[in-house]
Structure 1
Amino acid sequence: MTVPYRPLPQDLSDVRYAHGPDSSPRPGVPRGVTTAWRLDAEAYPGTSRTVWTHVPAGLDPDRPAAVAVFDDGWWYLDPDGDVRGAVVLDNLVAAGAVPPTIGLFVDPGVREGPEPVNRNVEYDAADDRYAGFLVDEVLARVGREHRLSDDPAHAVVVGGSSGGNAAFTAAWHRPDRFGQAVCFLSSFAQMPGGNPYPRLLADGARRPVRWFLQAAHRDLGWNRPERNWFAENLRVAASLAESGHDVRLVVGDGGHSPQHAGVLLPDALRWALGHCT
């Protein structure tokens, strides 16, 4: 395969990538049905959140569906935003690029009080609470309404920034449920106690998970010796590669923005679920 020549931009901080054809509604592609529902999480007492279930058109109820879980639900679902997750899923399913896939767009919890958004508590932690929440509360409830595949090769968890931490950590703790993780501009640098994954991987920890990571040259703290988002993503990718994991790393220009992630999402989902078709 020959990649066409493109000159590198000289300003790395203010770069925008053009979306491809799978990021906009395509003529003749039927749209799936998106349903919003509220979840009061047992794993995070006192919080509630909105979850959107996106069911592709023509889903066969007698065949187990693949599943794609998206952190920061509305940011990744918004059809006018940068990522447009349901639009991408509809196009890929219709083209046969991925199997029939139910998308679950899960917002972080909110609560009453001076810090109403529970996002960083849920997403930046390295323990297994968020993974258990996704499996035992989100997937379990949707599984009562739709037949979901229990094969981890048919499930991917997706997130960006702190949501990238959450996606990585969910797959790390529950590889029996998530066989792929797509992590855009992960905020490993701000995890309480520091980024644990390079050390864990160096110490021999392995997971039967495939990893898609994105980093940006001008991410937060890109030229600092500490709390450097760019460097921490590179460290995780290198540690995965050195420990023999199946990892795909995409390094782009620009800053801490979901814009490049949205452009990459169709290819990331093809990579994650295309082998299931």
Structure 2
Amino acid sequence: MTLEVPFQPLPVDQSDVRYAHGPDSTRRPGVPAGRTVEFDWNGSIVYPGTSRRFWVHLPAQYDPSRPAALMVFLDGRLYLDPDGEVRGAIVLDNLVSHGDIPVTIGVFVDPGARDGAAGPKQRNVEYDAFDDRYATFLLTEIIPQVAARHCITEDPGGWGICGGSSGGNCAFTVAWLRPDMFRRVICCLSSFVQMPGGNPYPELIRSVPRKPLRIFLQAGHRDLHWNEPARNWLAGNLRVAAALAEAGYDFRLALGDGGHNPNHGGVLLPDALRWLWRPLDT
């Protein structure tokens, strides 16, 4: 099937580009709003001494007698904000209502805070690490609280995870290390280059058997250090995309303009979710 894409002029200056949100990122007439419940979590074993909030969003079509798909969003408050760039709950409501994706419970998880104050240090500890701690944290501390209240599918093909910047490489790491649980991934402007020890994925992807993952990547022409030889966010994402292509993964790369901000990834979220949840044989 041929898909005709409407013409859009390319901006001349790539440094300060802003993308406009589409209709699926705003409340649409006739689409019932889902319900969002907020939780506090102060008893982490994986990250002792931290506190955080997380939110569970149930679309109006959720039926407790039928298992729902699951989508975890990192940097939960940012991705949930209805006036922000991503607007995750609004997008889920619109796509579920129109049958574009299955009924999906959204779990929006903030990074931890210490001594009652959030800060980048703990976020980087959790998101940039190349180990299974964050996956274990989700699977043993957060998702069980959701599953105790709501009906979630046990099929790993029905579980996804989404993040941006350091949250992008965290989402990739969770799925890479636990493909038995998470198989659909959205990574926006991922900070692969600031992972301790450097970006492990270009070599890893090529050197191990292909994993059952479907991966949507978003990168920016003017991401951090885009024209420098070291710690180049753009180059790091392109190297991961190239490795995925060479290894035969089911992946998609959306390359946009602008800098290191959530605008483009947020605008793309509806289409990323449609692509992510399309039937596995297409």
Normalised TM-score (structure 1): 0.97
**Number of aligned positions between the proteins:** 276
Compute the displacement of 1:7 (Å): 2.1
Q: Percent identity among equivalent residues? A: 62
Q: Please state if 1:124 is matched with 2:128.
A: yes
The 8 Å contact of residues 41 and 54 in structure 2, kept in 1 or not, is answered as yes
Deviates more, 1:63-72 or 1:199-208: 199-208
Q: Please state if 1:88 is matched with 2:103.
A: no
Q: Structure 1 pair 158/114, CA: closer, same or farther in 2 (3 Å)? A: closer
Partner SS for 2:89: helix
Distance 1:248 1:152 in 2: 20
Structure 1: segments with no counterpart, 5+ residues = none
Letter in 1 for 2:52: R
* CA offsets 1:84-135 (integer angstroms, 9 cap, x no match): 0000000001001111110000000001299855100000001010011111
Structure 2: segments with no counterpart, 5+ residues = none
Partner SS for 2:113: coil
Compute the displacement of 1:150 (Å): 1.1
Compute the displacement of 1:199 (Å): 1.2
Q: Please state if 1:269 is matched with 2:273.
A: yes
Q: Please state if 1:17 is matched with 2:19.
A: yes
Residue 253 of structure 1 corresponds to 257
Distance 2:75 2:224 in 1: 19
Compute the displacement of 1:272 (Å): 1.6
Alignment of 1:211-230 (within 5 A): 211-230=215-234
Residue 110 of structure 1 corresponds to 113
The 8 Å contact of residues 155 and 273 in structure 1, kept in 2 or not, is answered as no
Distance 2:62 2:171 in 1: 26
Distance 2:195 2:87 in 1: 27
Distance 1:76 1:270 in 2: 17
Distance 1:65 1:6 in 2: 37
Compute the displacement of 1:159 (Å): 0.2
Letter in 1 for 2:165: S
Distance 1:251 1:74 in 2: 25
Distance 1:142 1:201 in 2: 32
Distance 2:118 2:79 in 1: 23
Alignment of 1:28-47 (within 5 A): 28-40=30-42, 41-47=44-50
Distance 1:275 1:138 in 2: 28
Normalised TM-score (structure 2): 0.95
Q: Structure 1 pair 106/196, CA: closer, same or farther in 2 (3 Å)? A: same
